[in-house]
């Protein structure tokens, strides 16, 4: 959801730190893997005076689809960026932004040639650009620790750089599911067992990536048009609490009573529970109504997933990807195959 990317002001350029040429060029060429994420739920809980949207969402990292970043040393300082996708701007992109922010903050500016092999689709709500930026920051931090240890950033400083590139980038520096609130910048890692508390342990997730792009800024504008009254003011209490009850308030975890109340919608075999959106308030995405109105194909794909036995299906982020949860691996495999036969990329994950 990089619509919410915020740039913190820099305190001025750091003094350049360059490793000895022989040391820099001896660092091996590497291939970095950047996975993606889905939003297990996403609620827009309000709009701030500055126009930024307050969110409550749960990020789940997935290993596939993944982008590959082929990184090799080069004699000149700075970054030379290329990409398999011709419409990725070679200068204004998250990888170059991440490199420049790291260099400006630490002064460490190694010569790197980065070739991005893009597999995470654009406009899919999977956070591909943010994931790419995060693996570059991590790689630069490792190189800096080896070649210019005095300039190496602390984990907190690295997170601050990530937040400056885009609101979703800090999440990809983490190694597990996390809840995001505020404008996406307040990240709380899930404690071990909390996903199981939601009834997700042993589930099979099918990720469907239809060949459609949805622009995040457009999705926010469409949501605003549908939800903000003509006066331009949000209702005093924010959104309708009956319709948009947050799954968590404050520092509550998902393990107690709420998890008990959510579990039946994922484990019951009865037909009326097949679609838990009626029973599981956490399985909601505020963008679905406006995105489905414009992209009926996505609504039909969701209906197909539910019809084929998914106990839940939801759009991720602002779309266009959707995911579905299945109890039986065989059903999940069959559905993934049916999607591929319909020219929709599909990925299978065991949770």
pLDDT of residue 3 exceeding 50:
no
- Position 259 scores a pLDDT of 37
Cα dist from 329 to 152, 188, 208, 332, 349, whole Å: 45, 30, 16, 5, 9
Question: Do 173 and 203 sit in the same domain of this protein?
Answer: no
Return the top range by mean pLDDT from 17-31, 182-196, 234-248, 327-341.
Answer: 327-341
Q: Across residues 197-218, what is the average pLDDT? A: 93
* pLDDT tens readout for residues 249-282: 333 333 333 333 333 334 333 333 443 333 455 7
Q: What angle do CA 7, 132, 116 make, to 5 degrees?
A: 125
Whether 118 is catalytic: no
The CA distance from 265 to 273, in Å, is: 6
**What are 181's two structure tokens?**
């609130």
- Position 307 scores a pLDDT of 97
- 10 pLDDT tier (thresholds 50, 70, 90): very low
The CA distance from 59 to 39, in Å, is: 5
The CA distance from 130 to 123, in Å, is: 12
| CATH code of the domain covering residue 255 | 3.30.70.890
| CATH code of the domain covering residue 132 | 3.30.230.10
Burial 194-228 (b: 16+ CB within 10 A, else e): bbbbbbbeebbbbbbbbebebebebbbebbeeebe
Question: Do 344 and 270 sit in the same domain of this protein?
Answer: yes
Domain containing 213: what range? Answer: 194-350
- Position 330 scores a pLDDT of 97
Residue with tokens 């991720």: 316
The CA distance from 223 to 286, in Å, is: 8
What average pLDDT is seen over the chain? 83
The CA distance from 185 to 287, in Å, is: 19
Domain finish residue from 173, 189, 205: 189
- Position 147 scores a pLDDT of 95
- Position 185 scores a pLDDT of 81
Instruction: Return all residues near 12 (Cβ < 8 A) that are at least 6 apart.
Output: none
Question: Do 163 and 200 sit in the same domain of this protein?
Answer: no
The CA distance from 12 to 140, in Å, is: 20
* pLDDT tens readout for residues 313-349: 999 999 999 999 999 999 999 999 999 999 999 999 9
Domain finish residue from 189, 205, 223: 189
Q: φ, ψ for residue 259 (rounded to 5)?
A: -60, -40
Q: Name beta bridge partners: 79.
A: 112
Question: Do 163 and 201 sit in the same domain of this protein?
Answer: no
**H or E segment and range at residue 146:** helix 128-147
Q: What angle do CA 169, 135, 318 make, to 5 degrees?
A: 40
Of residues 279 and 56, which shows the higher confidence score? 56
Whether the link from the prior residue into 42 is cis, omega within 30° of 0, is no
Question: Do 32 and 168 sit in the same domain of this protein?
Answer: yes
The CA distance from 230 to 243, in Å, is: 20
Question: Do 73 and 96 sit in the same domain of this protein?
Answer: yes
- 192 pLDDT tier (thresholds 50, 70, 90): confident
Q: Which of 37, 56, 67, 118 is catalytic?
A: 37
Question: Do 160 and 247 sit in the same domain of this protein?
Answer: no
- 184 pLDDT tier (thresholds 50, 70, 90): confident
pLDDT of residue 92 exceeding 90:
yes
pLDDT of residue 125 exceeding 50:
yes
Instruction: Return all residues near 144 (Cβ < 8 A) that are at least 6 apart.
Output: 17, 102, 106, 108, 151, 152, 153
pLDDT of residue 213 exceeding 60:
yes
Task: Find, among 131, 178, 167, 164, the residue nearest to 52 by Cα.
Answer: 167
Question: Do 69 and 168 sit in the same domain of this protein?
Answer: yes
Q: Are 114 and 69 in contact (CB under 8 A)?
A: yes
pLDDT of residue 97 exceeding 80:
yes
pLDDT of residue 296 exceeding 90:
yes
**What are 137's two structure tokens?**
């920051």
- Position 76 scores a pLDDT of 93
The CA distance from 206 to 339, in Å, is: 10
- Position 28 scores a pLDDT of 85
- 119 pLDDT tier (thresholds 50, 70, 90): very high
Question: Do 248 and 123 sit in the same domain of this protein?
Answer: no
**pTM to 2 decimals?**
0.81
- Position 117 scores a pLDDT of 98
- Position 283 scores a pLDDT of 85
The CA distance from 169 to 133, in Å, is: 7
Question: Do 183 and 64 sit in the same domain of this protein?
Answer: yes
Domain finish residue from 163, 189, 215: 189
Q: Which of 56, 67, 132, 168 is catalytic?
A: 168
Question: Do 185 and 206 sit in the same domain of this protein?
Answer: no
Question: Do 200 and 172 sit in the same domain of this protein?
Answer: no
**What are 20's two structure tokens?**
């000895």
Whether 260 is catalytic: no
Which range (8-12, 208-212, 288-292, 307-311) has the least confidence?
Answer: 8-12
Instruction: Return all residues near 148 (Cβ < 8 A) that are at least 6 apart.
Output: 17, 18, 19, 106, 108
């Amino acid at each position: 959801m990089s619509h919410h990317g915020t740039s913190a002001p820099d305190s001025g350029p750091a003094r350049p730190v360059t490793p000895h040429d022989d040391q820099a060029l001896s660092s091996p060429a590497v291939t970095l893997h950047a996975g993606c994420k889905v939003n297990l739920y996403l609620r827009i809980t309000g709009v701030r005076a500055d126009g930024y949207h307050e969110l409550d969402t749960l990020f789940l990292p997935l290993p596939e689809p993944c982008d590959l970043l082929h990184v090799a040393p080069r004699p000149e300082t700075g970054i030379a960026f290329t990409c398999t996708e011709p419409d990725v701007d070679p200068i204004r992109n998250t990888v170059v932004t991440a490199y420049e922010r790291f260099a400006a903050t630490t002064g460490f500016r190694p010569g790197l040639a980065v070739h991005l092999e893009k597999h995470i689709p654009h406009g899919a709500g999977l956070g591909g650009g943010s994931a790419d930026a995060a693996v570059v920051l991590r790689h630069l931090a490792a190189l800096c620790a080896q070649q210019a240890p005095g300039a190496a950033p602390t984990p907190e400083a690295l997170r601050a750089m990530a937040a400056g590139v885009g609101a979703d980038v800090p999440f990809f520096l983490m190694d597990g599911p996390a809840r995001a609130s505020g404008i996406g910048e307040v990240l709380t890692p899930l404690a071990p067992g909390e996903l199981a508390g939601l009834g997700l342990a042993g589930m099979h997730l099918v990720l469907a990536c239809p060949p459609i792009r949805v622009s995040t800024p457009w999705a926010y504008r469409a949501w605003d048009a549908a939800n903000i009254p003509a006066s331009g003011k949000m209702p005093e209490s924010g959104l309708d609490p009956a319709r948009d009850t947050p799954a968590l308030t404050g520092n509550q975890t998902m393990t107690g009573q709420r998890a008990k109340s959510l579990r039946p919608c994922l484990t019951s075999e009865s037909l009326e529970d097949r679609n838990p959106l009626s029973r599981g308030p956490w399985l909601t995405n505020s963008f679905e109504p406006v995105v489905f109105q414009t992209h009926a194909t996505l609504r039909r794909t969701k209906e197909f997933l539910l019809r084929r036995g998914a106990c839940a299906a939801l759009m991720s982020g602002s779309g266009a990807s959707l995911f579905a949860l299945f109890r039986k691996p065989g059903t999940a495999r069959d559905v993934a195959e049916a999607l591929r036969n319909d020219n929709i990329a599909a990925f299978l994950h065991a949770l």
